Amino acid sequence: MTGFNKLTKADYTKTTLRAYFLQNGFNYTNYQGLGYALVMYPAFKKMYGDDQAKLAKELENNSEFYNTNPNFLPFVTSIHLAMADNGYEYEEVRGIKMALMGPLAGIGDSLSQFCIAPLFSTIFASMAMQGFSLAPLLFLLAENVTLLAIKLIVGGYGRKLGTDMIDKLSSQMGTISEAASMIGVTVIAGLAATFVKMNVKVSLAAGQVQQGVKQSTVNIQAMLDKVAPALLPVLYTLLMYYLIKKKGMTTYKLVLITVVLGIALSFCGILK
C-alpha cells in the first residue's frame, strides 16, 4: 500500500475527541454515516498518505448507515482504527462495527439521558432554587466533563481491546467478523419484524355457500402468521435493500413509494 503510516496514541485520542462531530451531516438516509466518516478522516488521511484512491474508498465505505450514542462512539472507532492499522480491510471490520452499534446506543442513551443528566440536574436545580447563581454553569460543566471522561475512557479501552484482540486472535479474526456480521443481520431482521407493520386485510371464501349457513372465510394474514410471523415486513425490507443496493434508488424515493403504496393498498382494502 502506497504511503501507509502507523497511528500513534495521539491519533487515537484525536479521533476520540472528534466524536463530538458525529452528528454533523445527520440525515435520514444514512443517519450518522457522514459524521462517522468525518470523525475518522484525519486518521485515515495519515494512514493512507498519498494513496488518494484508498482514502476516498475508505471514506465512501464509512459513510454508510450508522446510528449510535456519540459518547460511546470512541470505543468503536478505536477498535476500528486498531484493526485498520494492522492491515485489516473494511469488510473484516464492518461486522464488528455494526454489531457494536445497537448495544452501545442503548447503553449510552440510558447512561447519558436517564442517569447522568437527571442526576446533575437534580443536584444543581436544588442549588439554584436556594439562590446559588452559578448552579446552571456548574451543571453544564459537570455534565460535559463527565461525558468527556466517558469518551476518553471507552476510547482508550477500545484501543487496548482492539490491539489485544488482534494479537491474540489474529488467526480467528475471519470467524469473529463473520459472527459479528450474523449478529448485525439478526438485529436488523428483528427491527424489521418489530417496526415494519404490514397486515393483509383480505379474507377468502371457503367452501360452497349453503342456505341458512354462514359463509366461512380464510384469513390470509392468519395463514401467513402460522407459516412465518412478520413475513411481509421482512420481505418488504429485503425489497427496499434490493432497490437501494442493486437499483441505486435513494431512501427518499423509497419513502415516497412506501407512502403511496400504503395509502393505495389501504384504500383498496388489501392492507390495514
pLDDT tens-digit series, residues 140-157: 999 999 999 999 999 999
| pLDDT computed for residue 163 by the predictor | 79
pLDDT score of 211 more than 70 = no
Task: Report how far residue 262's alpha carbon sits from residue 24's, in angstroms, rounded to the nearest whole number.
Answer: 32
Strongest mean pLDDT among 24-33, 149-158, 163-172:
149-158
Segment among 90-99, 197-206, 207-216 with least mean pLDDT = 207-216
DSSP collapsed to 3 states, the chain: CCCCCCCCHHHHHHHHHHHHHCCCCCECCCECHHHHHHHHHHHHHHHHCCCHHHHHHHHHHCCCCECCCCCCHHHHHHHHHHHHHCCCCHHHHHHHHHHHHHHHHHHHHHHHHHHHHHHHHHHHHHHHHCCCCCHHHHHHHHHHHHHHHHHHHHHHHHHHHHHHHHHHHHHHHHHHHHHHHHHHHHHHHHHHHHHCCCCECCEEEECCCCCCCCCEEEEHHHHHHHHCCCHHHHHHHHHHHHHHHCCCCCHHHHHHHHHHHHHHHHHCCCEC
| pLDDT computed for residue 150 by the predictor | 96
For the chain, give the longest Cα–Cα distance: 86
Report the percent of the chain where pLDDT is more than 90.
42
Higher-confidence residue of 163 and 63: namely 63
Q: Are strands 203-206 and 216-219 parallel, antiparallel or unpaired?
A: antiparallel
Quote the mean pLDDT of the chain: 86
Res. 184 pLDDT band, cuts 50 70 90: low
Segment among 63-72, 76-85, 192-201 with least mean pLDDT = 192-201
Segment among 25-34, 120-129, 209-218, 250-259 with least mean pLDDT = 209-218
> CB of 35 within 8 A of CB of 21?
yes
C-alpha cell at 72: 460511546
Q: Please, what is the end-to-end C-alpha distance for the chain in angstroms?
A: 55
| pLDDT computed for residue 50 by the predictor | 81
pLDDT score of 32 more than 50 = yes
Q: Count the residues in the chain.
A: 272
Please give the average per-residue pLDDT across 89-105, as a whole number: 88
Task: Report how far residue 163's alpha carbon sits from residue 78's, in angstroms, rounded to the nearest whole number.
Answer: 9
Res. 37 pLDDT band, cuts 50 70 90: very high
| pLDDT computed for residue 147 by the predictor | 96
pTM value is: 0.71
CB atoms within 10 A of CB 92: 18
Counting beta carbons within 10 angstroms of the beta carbon of residue 97, is it exposed (0 to 12), middle (13 to 18) or buried (19 or more)?
buried
Cα dihedral sign for 160, 163, 167, 173?
positive
